[in-house]
């Protein structure tokens, strides 16, 4: 089966410039993968081999506490990257689950291939550096939001920033991301 990697190219080119030759070489290091709804990209306890760029679909990274309550670390839809980064970078076993909430197409990049791609193409090292820096800043902002904002404010900001997310995931999931109970979220969303 043939996969079209043009969306991946467009994604990379949002950050760095690539010519045809370079992209051909780069794309070879990625492995496309299709998953059905409710399939797992990463399972707790399993080795994590890949980082994943989402071409199409939607996934969530989460942990469960003793009582089975879910805490969502991250959503990832079109153009986002997702994996258990702690396990990925240290080549260890996952401490979280990453599950598809829709039929999802991802492009997998192993740590090995990531290293090769960065060594071969200087621009790809730049790509990941820039992405990593932005990601760090985004996490800092989320921490400040968790410290500073009320549940209501966090809800409003998320709705404003990612309105499409609310059409794709249940409110229960939004609640697990914002750190409030679904009942409280229900109350908040009715103003």
Partner DNA sequence: CGCGCGATTGAGTAATTTCAAATCTAGTGG
Partner DNA sequence: CCACTAGATTTGAAATTACTCAATCGCGCG
- Site for a copy of itself, rule CB under 8 A: 63, 65, 71, 73, 85-86, 89, 125, 128-129, 132-137, 139-144, 146-148, 179
Q: Distance of CA 14 to CAs 7, 43, 145, 157, Å? A: 11, 30, 27, 25
Give yes or no for residue 72 binding DNA (CB under 7 A).
no
- 3-state DSSP call for residue 3? coil
Residue 2 contacts which entry, DNA, a copy of itself, none (Cβ below 5-8 A, type-dependent): none
Residue 168 contacts which entry, DNA, a copy of itself, none (Cβ below 5-8 A, type-dependent): none
Q: How far is the CB of 97 from a copy of itself (least distance, A)?
A: 13
Give the helix/strand (H/E) hosting 21.
helix 20-27
Whichever of 115 and 179 has its CB closer to DNA, that residue is 179
Give yes or no for residue 182 binding DNA (CB under 7 A).
yes
Give yes or no for residue 189 binding DNA (CB under 7 A).
yes
Residue 187 contacts which entry, DNA, a copy of itself, none (Cβ below 5-8 A, type-dependent): DNA
* Number of helical (H) and strand (E) elements in the chain, helices listed first: 9, 8
Q: What is the distance between the alpha carbons of residues 182 and 188, in angstroms, rounded to a whole number?
A: 10
Q: How far is the CB of 83 from a copy of itself (least distance, A)?
A: 11
Of 54, 33, 30, the closest CA to residue 114 belongs to 30
Give yes or no for residue 145 binding DNA (CB under 7 A).
no
In the list 151, 156, 162, 165, the residue contacting DNA (rule: CB under 7 A) is: 151
Q: What is the distance between the alpha carbons of residues 153 and 37, in angstroms, rounded to a whole number?
A: 31
In the list 152, 157, 162, 165, the residue contacting DNA (rule: CB under 7 A) is: 152
Give yes or no for residue 39 binding DNA (CB under 7 A).
no
Q: Which residues pair with 93 in a beta bridge?
A: 47
Q: What is the distance between the alpha carbons of residues 16 and 111, in angstroms, rounded to a whole number?
A: 20
């Amino acid at each position: 089966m043939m996969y079209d990697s043009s969306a991946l190219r467009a994604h990379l080119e949002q950050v760095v410039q690539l010519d045809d030759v370079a992209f051909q070489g780069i794309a070879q290091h990625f492995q496309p993968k299709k998953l059905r709804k409710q399939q797992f990209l990463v399972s707790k306890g399993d080795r994590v081999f890949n980082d994943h760029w989402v071409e199409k679909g939607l996934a969530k990274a989460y942990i469960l506490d003793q009582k089975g309550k879910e805490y969502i670390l991250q959503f990832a839809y079109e153009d986002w990257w997702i994996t258990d980064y702690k396990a990925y970078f240290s080549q260890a076993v996952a401490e979280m689950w990453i599950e598809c909430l829709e039929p999802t197409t991802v492009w997998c990049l192993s740590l090995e291939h990531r290293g090769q791609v960065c060594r071969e193409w200087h621009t790809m090292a730049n790509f990941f550096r820039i992405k990593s820096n932005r990601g760090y800043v985004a996490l800092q902002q989320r921490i400040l939001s968790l410290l500073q904002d009320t549940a209501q404010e966090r809800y409003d900001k998320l709705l404003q920033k990612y309105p499409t997310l609310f059409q794709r995931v249940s409110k229960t999931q939004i609640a697990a991301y914002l750190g409030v109970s679904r009942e409280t979220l229900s109350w908040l969303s009715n103003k």
